[in-house]
């Protein structure tokens, strides 16, 4: 299990009285979720006095941390060494340098934590596949330069199994072909989340222009797509070998609330970093819900805008829990319930990842005393 060495609080003025856990989603059915039970542990961030910006009690963390770390290291190592991509530039830096930067000391406190907390239901093999795709999605988010088009196309063709007639010529290509075969094999064994995960990964590579956003609702609609919320939904589905249809109308409200929650949390934790980057560049557009809320409400204070953003996040947590209970009352198969629980675990896990990674708070968020995961066990 990872050592928790960073704790970033994007909202230091959060009143202590609001730091309460109001909902608990685990064990709501007659049969415990076997995937979460076998593959994760439950953590309470409050036991280590870590920032806890969620009203949903407990975070699930994967038991397969070593496999997660090894898989991500392998992918980045292959990216750093692959001659076909090492010289491609993204915003002035090559992919090879980006990958090597990702492997620098402290790497275990960076993006690798996302899979650990957001997809804890996956077994050792499923988690391994998801790590690749989570890392791929991260690269898609961070690198949208047009010079990557050909690389992205080959990357995706191999992950989607459409390059079988095109023999791999590099270790990276062989590796991606192996990942594709593994995902296909797991889908055949149960569920169909792997195929959907790859479809959503393709969408994550598409950069979209927010255009003119006139209100918060319009921003949330844009952000649900931009943040890759349906990729996360499909990856959560894959982690529990589910066959639940993602486009079924009965799940639309729940998944919309999840997407809004994901975008709000990411914007809340990245806001200060985005402001600094904008000031450094001197040009650009602020695309963040905190800014959208501030403009829509005519608030003078950024802290007040963060407060409203956090309240919206809590409201979407309530909507998810209310909708979960409504669906339970209407009748859910174990497969469908386990899928919804995996999505909820992803939402709460995203908060844990966002506050314990170096991605948003940097070295300024480093704790004076690190915490072992065991200190947070429920």
Query: Which pLDDT tens digit goes with each residue over 312-324?
Result: 999 999 999 999 9
Q: Which long-range contacts (CB under 8 A, 24 or more apart) does 155-160 make?
A: 156/198, 156/201, 156/202, 156/205, 159/133, 159/183, 159/198, 159/201, 160/198, 160/202
Are 218 and 224 in contact, with CB atoms under 8 Å apart?
no
C-beta of residue 103 within 8 angstroms of C-beta of residue 80: yes
pLDDT, tens digit, for every residue of 60-100? Answer: 999 999 988 888 888 888 888 877 666 665 556 677 777 78
DSSP states of 151-216 as a string?
HHHHHHHHHTTTTTTS---SHHHHHHHHHHHHHHHHHHHS-SHHHHHHHHHHHHT---------SH
Quickly count: other Cβ atoms within 10 Å of residue 163's Cβ. Answer: 19
Provide the sign of the torsion angle of the four alpha carbons 229, 210, 264, 272, taken in this order: positive
d(CA 187, CA 191): 5
Residues in contact with 108: Cβ distance below 8 Å, sequence separation at least 6, in sequence order: 2, 69
pTM: 0.90
Question: Residue 234's pLDDT is what?
Answer: 94
User: With pLDDT > 90 as the criterion, what percentage of the chain qualifies?
Assistant: 38
Mean per-residue pLDDT, 160-164: 59
Tokens at 91, concatenated? 């915003």
The pLDDT of residue 275: 92
d(CA 315, CA 31): 28
Q: With 0-12 CB in 10 A as exposed, 13-18 as middle and 19+ as buried, what is 146? A: exposed
Q: Strand pairing partners for 90? A: 93
The predicted-structure confidence for 25-34, as pLDDT tens digits, reads as follows: 555 556 789 9
- In a 3-state reduction of DSSP, which class is residue 365? helix
The neighbour count for residue 95, using CB atoms within 10 Å, is 23
Nearest to 195 by CA among 149, 162, 148: 162
Is the pLDDT at 250 greater than 50? The verdict is yes
Q: Which residue has the higher pLDDT, 272 or 14?
A: 272
State the residue for tokens 């506050």: 355
Label the pairing between strands 3-6 and 93-94. Answer: unpaired
d(CA 227, CA 239): 20
* Residue 17: pLDDT over 50: no
327-338 pLDDT per residue, tens: 999 999 999 999
Please give the pLDDT value at position 107: 87
């Amino acid at each position: 299990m990872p050592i928790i060495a960073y704790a970033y609080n994007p909202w230091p003025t959060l009143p202590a009285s609001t730091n309460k856990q109001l909902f608990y989603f685990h064990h709501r059915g007659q049969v415990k979720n076997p995937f979460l039970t076998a593959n994760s542990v439950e953590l309470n961030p409050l036991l280590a006095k870590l920032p806890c910006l969620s009203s949903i009690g407990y975070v699930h963390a994967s038991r397969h941390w070593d496999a997660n770390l090894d898989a991500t290291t392998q992918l980045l190592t292959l990216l750093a060494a692959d001659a076909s991509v090492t010289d491609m530039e993204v915003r002035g830096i090559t992919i090879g340098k980006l990958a090597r930067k990702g492997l620098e000391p402290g790497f275990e406190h960076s993006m690798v934590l996302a899979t650990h907390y957001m997809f804890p239901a996956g077994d050792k093999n499923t988690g391994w596949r998801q790590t690749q795709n989570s890392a791929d999605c991260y690269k898609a988010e961070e690198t949208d330069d047009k010079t990557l088009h050909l690389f992205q196309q080959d990357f995706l063709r191999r992950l989607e199994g459409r390059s079988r007639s095109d023999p791999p010529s590099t270790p990276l290509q062989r590796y991606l072909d192996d990942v594709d075969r593994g995902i296909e094999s797991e889908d055949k064994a149960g569920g169909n989340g792997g195929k959907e995960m790859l479809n959503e990964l393709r969408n994550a590579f598409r950069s979209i222009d927010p255009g003119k956003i006139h209100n918060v609702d319009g921003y949330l609609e844009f952000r649900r797509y931009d943040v890759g919320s349906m990729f996360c939904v499909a990856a959560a589905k894959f982690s529990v070998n589910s066959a639940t249809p993602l486009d079924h109308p009965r799940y639309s409200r729940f998944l919309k609330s999840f997407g809004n929650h994901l975008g709000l949390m990411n914007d809340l934790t990245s806001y200060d970093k985005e402001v600094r980057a904008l000031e450094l560049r001197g040009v650009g557009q602020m695309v963040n819900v905190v800014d959208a809320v501030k403009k829509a409400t005519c608030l003078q204070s950024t802290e007040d805008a963060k407060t409203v953003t956090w309240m919206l996040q809590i409201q979407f947590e309530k909507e998810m829990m209310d909708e979960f209970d409504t669906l339970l009352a209407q009748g859910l198969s174990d497969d469908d319930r386990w899928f919804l629980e995996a999505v909820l675990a992803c939402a709460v896990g995203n908060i844990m990842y966002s506050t314990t990674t170096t991605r948003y708070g940097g070295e300024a968020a480093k704790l004076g005393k690190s915490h072992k995961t065991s200190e947070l066990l429920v």
